[in-house]
Structure 1
Amino acid sequence: MKVKDFYFDLPKELIAQHPVEKRDESRLMVVNKTSKEIEHKHFKNIIEYLNPGDCLVLNDTRVLPARLLGVREGTGGKMEFLLLRRIDINQWETLVKPGKKAVIGSRFIFGNGELKAKVISFSDGGSRIVEFEYDGIFEEVLDRLGEMPLPPYITEKLKDKERYQTVFSKEVGSAAAPTAGLHFTNDLLEQIKAKGIAIAFVTLHVGLGTFRPVKAEVVEEHEMHSEHYMLSAQAANTINKAKENGGRVIAVGTTSNRTLESIADENARVCEKSGWTDIFIYPGYKFKIVDALITNFHLPESTLIMLVSAFAGQDLVMGAYDTAVKEKYRFFSFGDAMFLY
């Protein structure tokens, strides 16, 4: 299977640079896998397509304000740090720009000296292991000094950091938001519960690998990045109960989808579990538990559009994307959504 088969022409002006004023006022394309019918709605209309007894599965990860702007001690040269992974209480794996200035032993200052860092070693792929110095609680310092690590295709500055968080975000650790969840408001979630739809939370910490382009020409040759997930016993019970009673399991986002499919057994049951997943879902994959999917519009030739194509059929999905371009839907992280069922 060729990667180029997942290409579509996307005008630059359709890449959303900022979120809509109200989360659930974004547009929603509804795609019926069986009838092939496509409807055009707004996200608040999603409740019309959810049935009592269904289970909505949301990813409650919270994005770390992981982008730090500082200067090199002694020279004052500007530096940018991007936190990738916590190694120890004060040690992180980071990407540093410009990297040639971040030699072992070099020191950096952020804010008014409230946070300092020292490079202690190199890591794979050119990243650096750094040790931070600060007073107080690191997360609180980071919340004051850090910026959201917005995807590279968003060039405008985000005015409100919370708009790159879901309203149900809880578990800090992501390098990027689970963007399908950005459309939900607390009011909408309450309406969904009142209709008799169960809600369960999984956690999958989204890594920067989600933005890395697929460099292989053949889909099967692509190596997927690993991401950490968690599913509680309570959430597993909620999901299993819905499935046993004939309800649908509806994954909100590709992250929830990947988590569920990583955990589910051949009997469409899940259990309490945590670990790392590098599951790569592309056409030909047989879904074990997910019955419907809410997702945003993804990059051409990305692993995400491959996952959606696996779920609803490549021809139908690529046709839906062509329709989205013609109808001027907004794409990517701050863009509109689709519901496939």
Structure 2
Amino acid sequence: MKVTLKDVAARAGVSEATASKAINGRGDIAEDTRSAVLDAAAELGYFPAKRLDPISARPTITAITDAIDPSYGVEVLRGLVEEGDRRGIDIVPHIESEGVQRATSPNEWESKHLAPRSIGIVTMVYRVRGPIFEVARRRGIPVIAIDPYVMSKDADVTISATNWEGGKTATEHLIELGHRRIALINGLSEFLPGIERMHGYRAALDEAGIGVDNDLIFPGRYTFGSGFDAAEEIMRLSEPPTAVFALSDRMALGAIRAFESHGIRVPGDISVIGFDNSPGAELATPALTTIAQPLSDMGRLAVRTLRDIAAGHSATSTRIKLVTSLVVRSSTGSPPSR
């Protein structure tokens, strides 16, 4: 028997009008009343049909990003918006810090962040914490995690890049140029894409018979400043490397700034390669050699996947990887003669 709004209202002990406002996120409703209605809807399996005005009431996708690497989020968001426009879906972005995620209650998060008529949530954050998954389950909408910090069992679909292959390709490019001492500027120690890139770096060195020198691995945080700091440490080595692989473009650009501030030429004295192919990579001086992630394509695929799920189709895969590629520019070259 089909569950109706009247059933939900009776279960929650409120009027149908109040139940409708609570479910649709409208009106000034007490937090405990709203919670009771949403809990009743979840218990009864009630999810309202979407009656959409094609102009003023298009379906929406809620996109959550953070400020750790804005260029990364902007590229994914561009793909979301472009595909959303093609499909008649509005993208509603929110920038949210990790602390806000932890501190916010599910009802408060839903009220502040979940867009009306949302057919799904796309996360582009290093850590997905707090109420996001609880809200999604309660509303019966899927969550897609882009390049997730860890492979979360809670996300309905994850979309990421071939990070291991990309890390290996970056390192092989430097080896093919003749480099043997290749430093790595690592990322956050538990960030899954970074771990995969590091393993690709290790695999390339091992396959080339070079082996991994742990003294050439430096910590980073995917920021310009951490790349700068890592380069300062690299320059203090008694036998510095001839090349550096940074696990993000921002760290690579920070490293180049540090090297050049000490009169070390890139790529004349040291080669640097990044990862992401972010918008600033091509415009840098020298233009940055990097591994391109199909960031906009990730966003486009997320929209198509959510649209298909909303139409009643199953996702073709729950773990999707898009292919990375090497983009050779001006920041890498042969090692200097010594």
TM-score range, shorter chain: 0.3 to 0.5
Relative to its length, the structure with more strand (as a share) is 1
Taking structure 2 as the reference length, what is the TM-score of the superposition? 0.33
Taking structure 1 as the reference length, what is the TM-score of the superposition? 0.33
Larger radius of gyration: 2
